[in-house]
Amino acid sequence: MAHFQAPLKWDSNLIRQYDLTGPRYTSYPTAPQFHENFSAVDFNAAVARSNASGRPLSLYFHIPFCDTLCFYCGCNKVVTNNKGRAQPYLERMGQEMALQTALFDTARPVTQLHWGGGTPTFISDEEMTWLMNATRKHFTLLDDDAGEYSIEIHPGRVSANTMAHLRQLGFNRVSMGVQDFNAQVQKAVNRYNSVEEVSALVKALRQQEYHSISMDLIYGLPMQTLSSVGETLDRVIELSPDRLSLFNYAHMPHLFKSQELINQQDLPSAEQKLELLYMAIERLQNAGYIYIGMDHFAKPEDSLVQAQRAGKLQRNFQGYSTHGDCDLLSFGASAISAFGNAYIQNAKRVEPYQQAIDEGAIPFIKGVVLSTEDLLRQRVINQLICHFELNFAAIGKVFDIDVQRHFAAELSQLKPMVDDGLLTVSDTGIEVLNAGRLLIRRVCMVFDAYLNNSSAIRYSKVI
């Protein structure tokens, strides 16, 4: 059995020892390293590199609006009941696409597309049609249902009819934020979706022939207990989603004001959170789900598992991905693009974003051009976080280096982890063992050249 299919080895003492704060590595360098000195010259050079590569495209659209406030949420969002705010924002995204496509080779196929938020289904069916038509006007979308075209939804606030409409527009994958089914927990975080609502929606999605259904759960929310989370997991397993994400709630009200509405006394203790995580992992593995890594699980036949088996799994801003061969173009407030060895972030707030568009400017405010050393460390971290192993010869061949000599200091830092049974280091490479897989963020941190200069940055715990 391949090591990533074997059951996780749980060691509470090691988890406590290594459960520090650290990045989630949806990018490297991580977002705190993006800077305002990133210029139009840098942007145009990245576009030229992207065009020369001929890589297929992945598109991301950030729709920040929500009808209601979920107290735990740390996303970039605008909570409003004013549906009239959507169309002017969508029109700016259309204008942003026009600005981008004047520079990019858009004959390249769009093999991946994602609407995130916020709550993308805040917009009307007619506005959804408008946005997809605008996208088809500017880019080469696949019309054979072969691409991964996905949308995030709040299952308590979307109808089966809207999901049927999205299916007709070309969407074939759904990610729904279930979080928790317990009524007390839902009241404590102001997020409501009943078992009956989600069950009916899942049934409709399968009848509509969506290719994949993913569900997000959160552990560590107020009022959660082993019993209540166990009941939620039982219901979710009965619904049989193709993928599951089990996120750790990080209570950081100093960063996310809405979290001030959560009563801190209602939160599980650190010890209770570990018990919740252990129970959840055991339930999901016993139900047949494969632990992909970090907080992701999937059925054995899922494309994420297949990509991991083939050594082709990647990690990006949406988490684990099967499309690492794409250049990512992102639209909307706060959206981050990744192409031509650069990361580029748009203005975070809606008003400055729209103002930049109105002035005829591509609305980026930050970015970073990756150096050769960044690209090397990015590759190392991606291999470890996706495949739990690193082949020295393969990396050395790509970057023309002696890996053991280049990373001598980092390999020395790994020695305590070797002694504690988290991983092995040999002349041929690194292998993360089952006891170390939950702590993979901590392993990757050793290869992060920026962490020593980021002491003021506050990250969530790695578990």
Largest distance between two CA atoms of the chain = 61
pTM given for the model: 0.94
Q: Report pLDDT for 462.
A: 63
Note the pLDDT of residue 2.
42
CA 223 to chain centroid: 26
Alpha-carbon distance of 335 to 323, in angstroms, equals 18
Model pLDDT, residue 68: 95
Say if residue 109's pLDDT is above 60: yes
pLDDT of residue 1: 35
- 168 has pLDDT over 70: yes
> What is the band of 319 on the pLDDT scale with cuts at 50, 70, 90?
confident
Q: What is the pLDDT at residue 225?
A: 97
Provide the 3-class DSSP secondary structure of residue 87: helix
The whole-chain average pLDDT of the chain stands at: 94
Summarize the confidence of residues 449-461 as an average pLDDT.
66
Alpha carbon distances (Å) from 24 to 21, 40, 192, 194, 404: 10, 29, 27, 30, 25
pLDDT band of 125, cuts 50, 70, 90:
very high
φ/ψ of 284, rounded to 5, equals: -70, -40
Cα–Cα distance, 185 to 157 (Å, whole number): 18
The confidence score (pLDDT) of residue 370 equals 98
Give me the mean pLDDT over the 269-282 stretch: 93
Question: Could you give the CA distance from residue 376 to residue 398 in angstroms, rounded to a whole number?
Answer: 9
**Angle value at C-alpha 253, between 247 and 254, nearest 5 degrees:** 125
pLDDT attached to residue 440: 93
Q: pLDDT band at 122, cuts 50/70/90?
A: very high
Please tell me the least confidently modeled range out of 157-166, 256-265, 325-334, 452-461. Answer: 452-461
**263 in the Ramachandran plot: left (φ > 0), alpha (ψ -120 to 50) or beta?**
beta
For residue 3, the model assigns a pLDDT of 47
Cα–Cα separations (whole angstroms), residue 416 to 200, 422, 439: 50, 9, 13
Q: What angle do CA 306, 116, 34 make, to 5 degrees?
A: 90
Share of the chain above pLDDT 90, in %: 86
Give the model's pLDDT for residue 11.
Answer: 81
Q: What pLDDT sits at residue 12?
A: 82
- CB proximity list for 237: less than 8 A, separation 6 or greater: 283, 284, 287
- Which pLDDT score is estimated for 235? 98
Q: CB of 56 within 8 A of CB of 109?
A: yes
| pLDDT at residue 456, as a whole number | 45
Q: Give the mean pLDDT of 367-392.
A: 97
The C-alpha torsion from 155 through 157 and 158 to 159, rounded to 10°, is 110
How would residue 318 be classed by pLDDT, with cut points 50, 70 and 90?
confident
More confident residue, 255 or 338: 338
93: part of which helix (H) or strand (E)?
helix 86-101
pLDDT in tens, 17-49: 887 778 889 999 999 999 999 999 999 999 999
CA–CA dist 315, 301 (Å, integer): 19
- Of 133, 137, 114, residue with least CA distance to 125: 133
- Rounded to whole angstroms, the Cα distance separating 208 from 173 reads 11
Q: Which two tokens stand for residue 397?
A: 């061949």
Query: Is the pLDDT score of 454 beyond 80?
Result: no
- Please name the helix (run of DSSP H) or strand (run of DSSP E) that holds residue 367, with its range, or none: strand 364-369
Q: Within 13 Å and on the Cβ side, how many CA atoms surround 251?
A: 17
Select from 454, 450, 433 the least CA-distant residue to 384.
433
Nearest C-alpha neighbor of 197 from the set 157, 245, 242, 240: 157
Concatenated DSSP letters of 273-305? HHHHHHHHHHHHHHTT-EEEETTEEE-TTSHHH
Residue ranges of domains in the chain, CATH in brackets = 31-329 (3.80.30.20), 372-463 (1.10.10.920)
Quote the CA–CA distance of 152 and 400 in Å, as a whole number: 41
Give the pLDDT band (50/70/90) at residue 317.
Answer: confident
Is-contact 406 395, C-beta < 8 A?
A: no
